[in-house]
């Protein structure tokens, strides 16, 4: 089966390939760096991590850009309260974002771009929109006129004719011709951070940063644009309007949206006391890979209900897989290769691949792996699994972990050094020579727990980090 994604633009499942047949050009809306990311944000970013890994698994190269929103109303207000510049205020949260996402093993996009580094690019797009007759100025601010873009509403599948001019539907305190018109450039306000530009002194609206940076780094038509479901309207609708009205080309071929994470069935909010960051969970003693597993266990287009029971079950599920891996590496099996076991591994791999090809159905992919593990454990108990079947089973685990990335435990403090590994490996060889198998197995397990795998080859012992 071929790789298919659900496209919000068409509301259909569509076969995916990058337009140039080689490199996927993808843009995802990044965090607003005004605070620590919460586990809801992490759900969306984790689903994009799986998307990245699966696209690469399927042989495509990646050019993925993600923005950091480092100027907006909240940032300006919080920075002022903290007596800091917006740059100083956001730098710490941007660093914390990359610390947190690294802990849950999210790959860093090829391109990370900050809004404040791209004011000139945004001004260029706004000027192009001015030339194309899509803007007007009111009280020094520049607005996008949605009646100038007849396709407005095509992503959220909404018709907007009914909107009365002047009705207030958002919190922008600027005068607009039409309630749905949105600001491209906000005129300077006393005491607020501003830039001088040909549009006058002011700062960009939020939506324009994504259109401008996406087109700058990825070209006028992206292969994939992704974000959380709350961004469909108005943010992504506005991104489309700005980009397409400026370039005259389709902005993105595929739009992928991740459903929200809820906590115990409710929207997460500080006032309900059910608001969690990764840092909160680590303090309670949970591991980052438990959260990663939990976030990935529900397909991205379904709501995910976070519970602490669910988090504990995720830890148990990971343990089961790690125990299987340990058994595979350390147990002794009879010589030979069992043909049925080889077939079983091949079947699990094809089920795993078909599930992820089907709009990243992570639940089904995990199901295929667990069913395999259960059956193979039974076969191992009954002597049906042979020494030569280790490779096939290891291959499945490697494919699984290239995507889910939960087998390697997070080690507190510093990871074990190469020198220490060499020393332990030499000690194990000595122990084996002395027929002290208890000690040699103990060392192998100890290293495995640190994410280091030993392989006995004809040339001697080799080791690698997982
Ligand atoms: P923000 O930092 O608010 O711009 O959000 C960063 C990303 O997290 C966006 O893609 C949001 O759509 C997404 N997001 C926000 N809240 C949730 C949630 N409860 N569950 C899943 N994703 C969310
Ligand atoms: Zn965006």
Please spell the DSSP secondary structure of 284-325, one letter per residue. TT--HHHHHHHHHHS-TTS-EEE-HHHHHHHHHHHHHHHHHH
The verdict on 57 and 173 lying in the same domain is yes
* In a shared domain, residues 458 and 357: no
226 within domain boundaries: yes
Residue 347: per-residue pLDDT: 98
Q: Which of 93, 211, 198, 57 shows the shortest CA–CA distance to 144?
A: 211
Kind plus residue range of the DSSP H or E element containing 142: strand 141-144
Q: Has residue 410 been placed in a domain? A: no
The response to whether residue 232 sits with its C-beta less than 6 Å from ligand 1 reads: no
* 276 and 130 together in one domain: no
Which atom of ligand 1 is least distant from the CA of 261? 20
The answer to whether residues 75 and 176 belong to one domain is yes
Print burial letters for 93-109: b (CB count within 10 Å at least 16), e (below 16): bbebbeebbebbbbeeb
Residue 155 has what pLDDT?
Answer: 98
Phi, psi of 322 (to 5 degrees): -65, -40
- Any domain includes 413: no
User: To test ligand 1's pocket by mutation, which of 44, 78, 237, 262 has the most ligand atoms within 8 angstroms of CB?
Assistant: 44
Ligand 1: does its nearest atom lie under 6 Å from the Cβ of 301? Answer: no
CB of residue 260 inside a 6 A radius of ligand 1: yes
Residues 355 and 443 in one domain: no
Out of 217, 236, 258, a domain closes at: 258
Question: What distance in angstroms lies between residue 425's CA and the mean position of ligand 2's atoms?
Answer: 49
Q: In this structure, is residue 321 part of a structural domain? A: yes
Do 370 and 457 sit in the same domain of this protein? no
Closest protein CA for atom 17 of ligand 1: 40
User: 90 in ligand 1 pocket by Cβ < 6 Å?
Assistant: no
Q: Are 358 and 364 within 8 A, CB to CB? A: yes
State the pLDDT at residue 161. 64
What does each of the 466 residues of the chain score in pLDDT, given as a tens digit? 699 999 999 999 999 999 999 999 999 999 999 999 999 999 999 999 999 999 999 999 999 999 999 999 999 999 999 999 999 999 999 999 999 999 999 999 999 999 999 999 999 999 999 999 999 999 999 999 999 899 999 999 998 765 444 444 444 455 678 888 999 999 999 988 999 999 999 999 999 999 999 999 999 999 999 999 999 999 999 999 999 999 999 999 999 999 999 999 999 988 888 999 999 999 999 999 999 999 999 999 999 999 999 999 999 999 999 999 999 998 999 999 999 999 999 999 999 999 999 999 999 999 999 999 999 999 999 999 999 999 999 999 999 999 999 999 997 655 678 888 888 899 899 998 998 887 888 788 778 877 788 888 777 888 888 7
Final residue of a structural domain among 224, 258, 292: 258
pLDDT of res. 175: 66
**Structural domain ending residue among the three candidates 404, 436, 452:** 404
**411 in a structural domain:** no
**In the block, residue with structure tokens 């495995």:** 448
Question: Could you count the other beta carbons within 10 Å of the beta carbon of residue 329?
Answer: 16
For residue 52, the domain's CATH number is 3.40.50.620
pTM of the model: 0.89
Q: Are residues 190 and 313 in the same domain?
A: no
Distance 353 CA to ligand 2 centre (A): 30
Residue of 29, 41, 30, 86 lying closest to 279 (CA atoms): 41
**In 3D, which of 263, 227, 272 has the Cα closest to residue 39?**
263
Look at residue 12 and tell me if it is in a domain.
Answer: yes
- 163 and 63 in a single domain? The answer is yes
Q: Is the CB of 392 under 6 A from ligand 1?
A: no
Q: Maximum Cα–Cα distance for the chain, whole Å?
A: 87
Question: 303 alpha carbon to ligand 2 midpoint, in Å?
Answer: 21
Same structural domain, 221 and 280: no
Q: What is the CATH number of the domain that holds 284?
A: 1.10.730.10
- Examine residue 40 and state whether it is found in any structural domain, yes or no: yes
Which of 29, 46, 228, 291 for mutating ligand 1's site (highest number of atoms within 8 Å of CB)? 228
Q: According to the model, what pLDDT value does residue 162 have?
A: 52
Are 302 and 239 in the same domain? no
- How many domains, in total, are found in the chain? 3
> Which domain, by its residues, includes 431?
418-465
SS3 157: coil
pLDDT of amino acid 375: 98
Does ligand 1 have an atom closer than 6 angstroms to the CB of 235? no
Find out whether the beta carbon of 231 lies less than 6 Å from any atom of ligand 1: yes
Q: Which of 43, 230, 233, 234 to mutate to test the pocket of ligand 1 (most atoms within 8 A of CB)?
A: 230
- 99 and 238 assigned to the same domain: yes
In a domain, 252, yes or no: yes
Distance 270 CA to ligand 2 centre (A): 24
* 300 and 447 share one domain: no
Q: Does residue 264 contact residue 306 with C-beta atoms inside 8 Å?
A: yes
Does residue 268's CB lie within 6 angstroms of at least one atom of ligand 1? yes
Indicate the angle between helix axes 308-330 and 288-297, nearest 10 degrees.
100
Ligand 1 site, residue 40, Cβ cutoff 6 A = yes
């Amino acid at each position: 089966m071929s790789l298919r994604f659900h496209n919000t633009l068409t509301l259909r499942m569509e076969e995916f390939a990058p337009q140039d047949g080689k490199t996927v050009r993808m843009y995802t809306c990044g965090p607003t760096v005004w605070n620590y990311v919460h586990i809801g944000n992490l759900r969306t970013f984790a689903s994009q991590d799986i998307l990245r890994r699966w696209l690469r698994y399927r042989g495509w190269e990646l050019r993925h850009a993600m923005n950091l929103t480092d100027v907006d109303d909240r940032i300006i207000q919080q920075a002022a309260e903290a007596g800091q510049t917006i740059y100083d205020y956001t730098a710490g949260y941007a660093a914390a974002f990359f610390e947190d996402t690294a802990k849950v093993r999210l790959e860093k996009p090829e391109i990370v771009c900050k809004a404040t580094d791209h004011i000139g690019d945004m001004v260029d797009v706004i000027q192009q929109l001015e030339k194309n007759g899509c803007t007007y100025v009111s009280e020094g601010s520049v607005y996008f006129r949605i009646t100038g873009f007849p396709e407005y509403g095509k992503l959220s599948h909404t018709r907007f004719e009914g909107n009365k001019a002047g009705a207030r539907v958002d919190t922008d305190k600027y005068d607009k011709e039409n309630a749905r018109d949105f600001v491209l450039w906000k005129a300077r306000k006393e005491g607020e951070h501003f830039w001088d530009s040909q549009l006058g002194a002011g700062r960009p609206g939020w939506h324009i940063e994504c259109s401008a940076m996406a087109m700058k780094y990825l070209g006028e038509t992206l292969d994939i644009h992704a974000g959380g479901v709350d961004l469909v309207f108005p943010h992504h609708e506005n991104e489309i309007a700005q980009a397409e009205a400026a370039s005259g080309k389709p902005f993105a071929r595929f739009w992928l949206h991740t459903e929200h994470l809820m906590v115990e069935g409710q929207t997460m909010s500080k006032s309900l006391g059910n608001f969690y960051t990764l840092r909160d969970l680590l303090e309670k003693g949970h591991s980052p890979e438990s959260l990663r597993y939990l976030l990935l266990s529900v397909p991205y287009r379904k709501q995910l209900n976070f519970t602490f029971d669910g988090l504990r079950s995720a830890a148990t599920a990971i343990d089961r897989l790690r125990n299987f891996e340990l058994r595979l590496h350390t147990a002794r099996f009879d010589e030979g290769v069992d043909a049925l076991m080889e077939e079983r591994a091949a079947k699990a791999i094809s089920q795993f691949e078909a599930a992820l090809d089907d709009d990243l159905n992570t639940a089904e992919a995990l199901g295929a792996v667990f069913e395999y593990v259960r059956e193979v454990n039974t076969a191992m108990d009954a002597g049906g699994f042979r020494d030569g079947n280790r490779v096939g089973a290891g291959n499945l685990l490697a494919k699984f972990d290239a995507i889910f990335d939960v087998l390697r435990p997070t080690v507190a403090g510093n990871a074990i050094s190469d020198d220490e590994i060499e020393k332990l490996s030499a000690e194990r060889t000595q122990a084996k020579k002395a027929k002290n198998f208890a000690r040699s197995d103990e060392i192998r397990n100890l290293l495995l727990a640190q994410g280091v795998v030993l392989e006995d080859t004809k040339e001697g012992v080799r080791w690698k980090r997982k």
